Chain A
Amino acid sequence: MANDREILREVWEGKLPVCFKLDPDEVVELQQPDPFYLMVPRLSYFPLVTDKVRKHFIKYVSSDTQEHEMWLEYSAQPMKWHFPIGVLYDSMVDSDHEALPWVITVHFDKFPETQIYRFSNKETVESYFMACLKEADVLKHRGQIASNMQKKDHNQLWLGLQNDKFDQFWAVNRKLMEVSGENDYFKYIPFRCYIEDGYRQKLVKPVGDDGKRKTLNDLLNELFPDKDNVTAKIHGMIPPLETPLQWMSEHLSYPDNFLHLCIV
């Protein structure tokens, strides 16, 4: 049971100051637009929070690109909108050397179709989010809980995330974080480990065959058996290696119920 409310709240409250700048090449007006400053939740997705950014910049770009989809770029890489913002920051930014705010370039033209998916509206994000959530539930409970939920519960999860309502979200998410029936643990831990430009997944159980609880260290060893001293980052911090996996999954998962670990 995810019952450590203090941690959950702290994870939920995680925010990043972002400075959006329009690509100077796309500006058609004489005057360069002011950068747009925004405090974004780490747990959210860019398409959910950038309506204002689009509104701010759209009058500065040429009228034929105005209808195009807006995309974001950081250090010459297009942002994968379907990753949570916190994951993007933790995997792309070297936070020890880069100071905040996080400066992101906004584009309207030349959508990098080969690198990122197109998204037409928020429903696309929602369906991707729900797909992740269900995948996580399959790993945790063979999918029994998410599939038994009503449409209303799914809505509440999504609206809770979209409107930044902790209680609303956790009232439903709590059920997903419970262990089902007889078991004391999840079946497998839903996680993704980000290295370089992709991520890895593997079936990892929260307990070993000897009945001992596995820790983050065990997970990293299973995933990278040949490497020592792997450090994983999540929510902008490096959790201690002795943290139990079950607890991590319950408390440190993103809203899509996955642990998104960024290997540094």
Chain B
Amino acid sequence: MPSSLLFGINNEGRVHTLSTMGSMWREMPYNGQEFKKLSGVPHFLWGLGGDHQIYVYVHGLDIPIRIREESYENERWLPIEGFSSRMLPTDRFHFSNIDGTLDRSIDKIRLPSMAWQWEGDWQLELTLEGKPLDHNGWTYAVDFPANFHSQKQWKSCVRRRLWVRTAKYCAMNSWCAIAPLHKDATKEPFIDVSIGGQSVAGSEPGTMLVWAVTSHNRVMFRTNVSTKSPEGARWNHIQVPPGCEVSQLSVGPTGLVWAALLDGRALVRLGVTRDNLQGVSWLEVRSPGDNLRIIQLSVGSYSVWAVTQDKQIWFRKGIKAEGAGVSEELAAGSGWIEMVGRMLQVSVTSTDQVFAVGADDRLIYHRTGICQEDLTGKRWRALRAPLQVSRASSNASIGRDKFHRSLNHLGSRPSSMIEQSNLSEFDEQSRSAPLAPTSLPVGDCKYEIQPKNPKAWSPVHSVGSIVGTEVHPETDESVWSESSRDSCIFAEDEEMGWAEYDAPWSWVEAGTCLLEPSQLPNWFSDSNCGAMQEEFEQPWRNRILEDLKGRLPNQDKFTLYEPAIDTTSWIHKGEARVNLGTSTFVDCILQLEWIQTTGTLTILNPDGATTMHSFTLSDITCVQLSSEPGSPRLSIHTPRNYPPVVNLQFSSDTLLEEWQTHFATTCSKLRDLQGKPSDESIWAVTTLGDIFVWDPSQLESNQLREDDLYLQKFDLSGKECPIKVALHVGCSPGTTLTLTGCVGDEADRLGINLEAPITYKSKHKAFSELENVCLHLNPRFSENVVIRNSMQEGKWDNEEREGSMPFARGQEFKLLIESTEDAFNIYVNDEKFTSFRHRLPPSSACILYLWGKMQPFKLVIKSPMIIVDPLELYWKQLGGHLRRVETCNAGITWGIGYDHTAWVYSGGWGGGFSGNLDSQNIYQLTDSQDYRVYENQRWNPVTGYTASGLPTDRHMWSDVTGRQKRLKDQVKLLSSRWQWVSDWMVDFHVPGGVDREGWQYAVDFPATYHATKQFTDLVRRRRWYRRCAVATTGPWQELGHTKLLDVSLEPVNDDPDCTIAVWALASGGQAMFRAGTSRSNPLGHIWEHITTDQPLSSISCGPFNQVWATGRKGCAYVRVGIRQDKLEGERWICVEPPGAQLKQISVNSVGIWAVDALGRINVRKEVTSTFPEGTHWQNIIADPPIINSAPHTKGFKHVSACKTEVWAVTDGGAVIRRLGISLENPAGSGWDIGISGNWQYISIRAFR
């Protein structure tokens, strides 16, 4: 749970904040404005000032609020003039929106309010669907409206280009005034304001609803408030039933509004839905008692709390705000319940947690024990958080230092506002900001014409201003200085004094607060926690410990005593179902036997006597969850055995986890893998979100010899030729191969080949295989000669046949092949025989092929590189549920969940299925995913659209392809760790757009779907979704509230505690840079936003300041201008994609590797230090070994590059490693294939 804030106002009208991470109240910098009331949702706080005007305060966002204005410049070709701005009378405006319906003259596009600033000037968009355009950015078409192309053709009669400009909300972390209702601000001031509606079902993400009450008891609704437009557009008057005078109101998270009337009754707004955010009508609710008047209300998700004039507090039962938009009963509830306690004011969070200000003592209370089952909670508990007295926030700072400017301006604020607003009518007229545009990329071409009248660019139609100041970022420090920017996210380590805070509170606002009832923040500082710490120091504790330790003084005497309980050997037995490579699961009995240091898994027939399959635990390389909803399954990978994967199905999740724990602990013990994985580890994630890690340090220490060479031995005795030995490492210079064996008595020809991967040429979807041999050593006894040759793409090269015949029939031999920079040196029986100049890159030689009549004994490889067989890696599981994991060689690892939450590896282990056993540094972790089903309907002339389709149609409830039947009420969760967190809802955010009820129309299934029904449309569909969440534990710490799409980590240099460059993409595709990350501070300090004109989909940073990204439209971007003192670089350069859109990219010393939408891997070629963006892409397609690596494999899914290696994951779930990468052949050749373990993500960035 990331930190969030509770807000309070003290009796002097000063706003204070209390962070869920902290335990002290801090006063917000006072800028001369007292506040009476506050209402907030996370990051957006609205306040009613002491002057009865309304202010908005946006805080704690890492990414600036930016909107992109765009305008299409249209031109028509005229016979003499050529293209000109003179259009036909029927044509669209010269400057228009995308479909030409609105005039978007550039000089008429203004900033929404004073709180906004332009970022730069108007610029031309220079790409079209990811492809660069020429420098003028024109796109051509036959006529409006039509498809525009990048090239001008003879029939092109019109052209257009796109101008874009970005506006930024500058009033972040400061109070911004909302313009008053009338010119005279005192004419109709406000008496209440409330914000909510951040989770109205099906609404646009970022929507918020703001309601207010004026002193004339009129109810106002603020239109267009969203995260993109924090101040909204204008006030709409909402009629109330006659005789109702509203004094206070509250908006719940789902948009439910309750209002208190002056006569003590309440009104409930009905019909608030995504289509009608203002609601439809009011419903009266009586007050709890005859003489009781409701004076204040607060609305949560499943509760409404009220305070009456006698300070009594009441709970409204039967509320379910989720369905309140359509159901009167759920909106109005069924009755009042009196609660204990006398309260002045109450505030409910979106999760129904309740805070209140006590009527008598004016303390802030939290209602403990509120949960879904018990919404009324147990008792009131006072917050006892002291007030932190900080230099910046003490009252003495008024009129001093940076705030005095604000004060000076304050007096003149209302009048200055009016002056600016003279041009517009204030009443109910629209002063709307320009429509929030969609995001589109821009180039860096400047708009040629400077605006003639700069005044026209100032925000005339202002609806907001920062209190007392105008926004001049360059001159006004009060807005921009570091301390005020951080005014809410206080650094916790600041050394400051604190004082017991006994001043009475007048208001508490909890809507901004995200609280987990099970993990309450440290706000109730009883002496208890301190006491715990003290106990470690107490003399009695130390004496007890000493006495306990000294209980057996002469222990050595008893060392030979047998322990009563033998913990070194055990057997675990249980029933399961097994699938041994066939298609069905059959009943079996599993028996796991552990004796001292080794173990065996035996799979017995249900009779318990006969064995089906058995293997030792050291054969296991990976134990993975492979459950399907309703069937808990484990896959045990034993790649050297047959079958290579044993699938087990258990009768319950608990049983599965029990076995999973047994496998994990025994295999870890067997391989001596307890504790934290080393910094060089490879991390991978499966499609079920499980996290695995392979630690190379043990393999390294096993293989490494003193002479810095890695050594691997193969015993070939007993094997019959022909033999193929996969070397798993190329014969790059420095490698030696030693083969001993005996030539057969009747041998005629022998073959000893060093082969490179086969080249596959695809022709008409069929592949032809072309062999490559780096060295062909061919002793021919009949000719008494040893032929040396090579083969490239199936063609033999020139033979070399000089020299004697060192081999003899029936005699043993020792053959040593040494690879040097330019040749293979060949020694036979310790005498140099010959050398063979490299014809193919030696690093591609990765298979030793022996044929002919001989008996090989032993093969020894010495390689300068570690010899990794991807089948042999032992994958150890860590707790947690993530979508992706990125690591770097400084030992820092980050993860991103399916819900885009960022997590940082804590250096611990365990968690998840293994619970708390054998774990360290584990934390709570949650993640969420959506289940989706499609509802399909067909039109028929009589009844219109119905659920009865044609016999040939897809299921009326199906998955996206229509092949699988999916019924909403039959969708099962994956395991008991998952829970539903919402009901089924219609998804209104489906690509292609939907109509008001969520339907998409098409001519027939399957087809392209569109939002509006056309005459020819015979079918329609809509998507339903339901969210589920998993709660687990793992060695992961939550980073913050900023959601991430992608992240990449790389140390700036080799210094052990250097800065680590962390590049990430926020969920909107904006690039960010994490400042202050280092080995000692893996969480980093703060996000720095990097201006990006186009939303990005993937980012990767390599050493030497290489940062590459892919855009959502598929082109690649290189960041230039990165220096040691300017890690964030200067600007992006667009790189054309290789035919298909790029989806994911990985950059490291080894090169720039990217996966495209067709499932190919692309390698950037001719990358040099002077030309870091390279010249072109080389495609690598999925060849037969990849396609056969796992079922349903069509291409590559993810690629990761480290210093010298490239690994990838296929869409069939296999992990693969690129072979033969060298300087001469940077794209390598061939793949080494590991286990197919439904992998979806791998990060090898820390690996050599």
Contact = CB atoms under 8 A, between A and B. Distances in A.
Interface of A: 1, 3-4, 6-7, 10-11, 14-15, 17, 37-41, 44, 48-49, 52, 100-101, 152, 162-165, 167-168, 171, 174, 181-182, 184, 235-240, 242-243, 247, 252
A233 to B, nearest CB: 10
Given A100-B558, A182-B369, A236-B547, 10 more contacts: A7-B548, A17-B561, A38-B562, A39-B561, A41-B565, A164-B567, A168-B917, A236-B548, A239-B547, A240-B544
Interface string B312-331: 00000000000000000000
Contacts of B543: 239-240
Contacts of B766: none
B1005 to A, nearest CB: 47
Contacts of B528: 184
5 contacts: A7-B545, A10-B549, A163-B570, A167-B916, A240-B540
Interface in B681-712: none
A164 B563 CA distance: 11
Contact of B540 (A39, A44, A242): A242
Contacts, number: 104
Contacts of A49: 564-565
B561 A41 contact: no
A235 to B, nearest CB: 6
A49 B565 CA distance: 7
B918 interface: yes
B86 interface: no
Contacts of A100: 552, 554, 557-558
Interface of B: 368-369, 378-379, 381, 526, 528, 532, 535-536, 539-541, 543-545, 547-552, 554, 557-558, 560-565, 567, 570, 654, 915-918
Contact of A15 (B544, B552, B560, B918): B552
Contact of B532 (A3, A11, A101, A242): A3
Chain B CB within 10 A, most for which of A14, A17, A162, A182: A17
A167 B543 CA distance: 25
The 3 closest A-B pairs by CB, nearest first: A237-B547, A49-B564, A240-B540
A239 B562 contact: no
B747 to A, nearest CB: 61
Nearest to B548: A10
A206 to B, nearest CB: 13
A260 to B, nearest CB: 15
A247 B535 contact: yes
A171 B916 contact: yes
Given A164-B567, A182-B378, A152 B654 contact: yes
Contact of A38 (B379, B548, B564): B564
Contact of A243 (B544, B557, B567): B544
B560 A239 contact: no
Given A182-B378, A240-B543, A163 B565 contact: yes
A163 B568 CA distance: 10
Given A7-B541, A184-B526, A242-B540, A163 B564 contact: no
A14 B551 contact: yes
A244 to B, nearest CB: 8
Contact of B551 (A40, A168, A236): A236
B549 to A, nearest CB: 6
Nearest to B546: A237
A101 B558 contact: yes
A100 B552 CA distance: 9
A203 to B, nearest CB: 23
A239 B550 CA distance: 13
Contacts of A41: 564-565
Given A171-B916, A237-B544, A182 B552 contact: no
Given A164-B565, A182-B378, A14 B548 contact: yes
A193 to B, nearest CB: 18
A1 B379 contact: no
Contacts of A235: 548, 551
Contacts of A4: 535-536, 541
Contacts of A48: 564-565
A48 B560 CA distance: 21
A124 B271 CA distance: 64
Contacts of B551: 14, 235-237
B917 A39 contact: no
B565 A44 contact: yes
Contacts of A52: 562, 564
A237 B544 CA distance: 8
A239 B558 contact: no
Contacts of B918: 167
A33 B347 CA distance: 79
B768 to A, nearest CB: 59
B369 A240 contact: no
A238 B918 CA distance: 32
Contacts of B916: 167, 171, 174
Contacts of A239: 540, 543-544, 547
A49 to B, nearest CB: 4
Given A49-B565, A247-B535, A39 B558 contact: yes
Nearest to B531: A213
A15 B565 CA distance: 11
A10 B368 CA distance: 37
Contact of B547 (A37, A40, A238): A238
A229 to B, nearest CB: 18
A10 B545 contact: yes
B1142 to A, nearest CB: 47
A37 B560 CA distance: 9
A26 B565 CA distance: 27
A40 B565 CA distance: 8
Given A171-B916, A182-B368, A44 B564 contact: yes
Nearest to A234: B544
Contacts of A7: 541, 544-545, 548
A1 B564 contact: no
A174 B916 CA distance: 11
A10 B550 CA distance: 10
A41 B543 CA distance: 22
Chain A CB within 10 A, most for which of B528, B552, B918: B552
Nearest to A215: B540
Nearest to A17: B558
A224 to B, nearest CB: 21
Nearest to B917: A167
A39 B567 contact: no
Given A41-B564, A101-B558, A11 B654 contact: no
Contacts of B547: 236-239
